[in-house]
Amino acid sequence: MAGTATRYLYLVRHGEAASEESGLTDAGRRQAVLLGRRLRDVPLAAIHHGPLPRAEQTARLIGDQLTNVPLHVSEVA
């Protein structure tokens, strides 16, 4: 199998949120920032997130800790 590279898929749940449709709590924002810092040395191609506010907020906070990693929102199914 020459020429094949190992690929990794990282799955992350959104940070702590106050309710079903709300954004993140202070703790949830802190969780996302800390995860972004832990992922700084991981070669990520992109961050994909769902359309809900808590998912977008989590993805943006993680992405803010990374260099040149694009965010992509998934449409509602």
The set of residues, in sequence order, having a beta carbon less than 8 Å from that of 55 and lying 6+ positions away, is 14, 49
| Predicted local confidence at residue 3, as pLDDT | 77
pTM above 0.85, yes or no: yes
User: What does the pLDDT read at residue 1?
Assistant: 57
Q: Go through the chain and tell me how many residues it has.
A: 77
Indicate the Cα dihedral angle 19, 9, 56, 20, nearest 10°: -10
Could you report the average pLDDT of every consecutive run of 10 residues in the chain (77 residues)? 84 92 93 98 96 95 98 86
